[in-house]
Structure 1
Amino acid sequence: MNTKRITEAYPLDLLLLADPSEKLVKQYVGRGECFIAEQNGRTIGVYVLLPTRPETVELVNVAVAEQQQGKGIGKALILDAIEKAKQQGYKIMEIGTGNSSIGQLALYQKCGFRITGVDKDFFLLHYEAEIIENGIACVDMIRLTMKL
């Protein structure tokens, strides 16, 4: 798997796997750096790094093609994002996910992130349609942070 930065022709179908709001995805992709993972010439994953404050970057979208999920690619993308952020001089990386995203919460913590806060009602305020994952209403944004 190779990763590279892209500046156009974003894989919207993949980005929407991790964030169902096309409006929000287009906003942050335009402000951040989008990286894709390729394998045998096919795009199999994507992530976006978004500078938020001096020395701080947020990993705002991590997605893996459905047929490639469960193979460790998500973890590889997160570790790649951490390395790219370090290379760019960032000192802190943040990530947020829904309270119902049980697998993602576990993965982020396995990669070294720690829960640092909750944005109550985030998904109720910023998303038009209700989101249900794992039989749980996605209501709050769980914030996690890592010192790089």
Structure 2
Amino acid sequence: MNIREIQLHESPPMDLLLMADPSQKLVAAYLEGGDCYVLEEKDQIIGVYVLIPTRTGTVELINIAVAETAQGKGIGKLLVMDALKRARRDGFKIIEIGTGNSSIGQLALYQKCGFRITAIDRDFFIRHYDTPIYENGIWCRDMIRLSQEL
């Protein structure tokens, strides 16, 4: 397995990115301002994440996605740990991440990787998405914000 940055001449894996964020408009916006990394196995992209600087010394980890066939194998944790390593290497002091109130597995993963809950952006998904999102039988309304000092 190899994690690498997407090159300018390559198209990002939109199918995977849209698994984690159903808004093509929002995905395109943060791809424009961030760096996209992919995990390849046997010349096939099976994971992706985006790092985007938000303020001085702070970077946000956005849109971690793993192909359905590769889920449950520790790939998500591998991607998060790679993002932490790259953010440290690039001199960032804080890394942030956000996920939906209904994203139970992601909330557990991020906390296992050292993130702590810092805020709740109430009704984030109602304000930014045209149609309701349901996950794990829960209406996804609020953005749970987490961060970690590097």
What whole-Å deviation, never above 9, does each CA across 1:46-81 have from its counterpart, x for those lacking one? 000010000100001100001100000000000000
Residue in structure 1 matched with residue 124 of structure 2 by the alignment = 122
Task: Kindly report which structure 2 residues correspond to 1:16-27, keeping only aligned pairs within 5 A, or say none.
Answer: 16-27=18-29
Equivalent position SS for 2:31: helix
- Deviation at 1:101? 0.2
Residue in structure 2 matched with residue 67 of structure 1 by the alignment = 69
Match 2:36 to one of 34, 37, 48: 34
- Please, what is the CA RMSD of the aligned residues? 0.6
Count of residue pairs the alignment pairs up: 148
AA aligned to 1:5 is E
AA aligned to 1:21 is S
Match 2:99 to one of 97, 100, 105: 97
**TM-score scaled to structure 1, two decimals?**
0.99
Equivalent position SS for 2:77: helix
After superposing the two structures, state which structure 1 stretch, 4-13 or 36-45, moved more.
4-13
Equivalent position SS for 1:112: coil
Q: Percent identity?
A: 63
- Deviation at 1:126? 0.2
Counterparts of 1:64 and 1:14, CA distance in 2: 7
Counterparts of 1:78 and 1:18, CA distance in 2: 14
Residue in structure 2 matched with residue 86 of structure 1 by the alignment = 88
Task: Detail structure 1 runs of 4+ shifted over 4 Å in the superposition.
Answer: none
Equivalent position SS for 2:146: strand
Residue in structure 2 matched with residue 111 of structure 1 by the alignment = 113
Structure 1 residue 2 corresponds to structure 2 residue 10: no
Q: In structure 1, list runs of 5 or more residues that go unmatched.
A: none
Q: In structure 2, list runs of 5 or more residues that go unmatched.
A: none
Counterparts of 1:4 and 1:32, CA distance in 2: 14
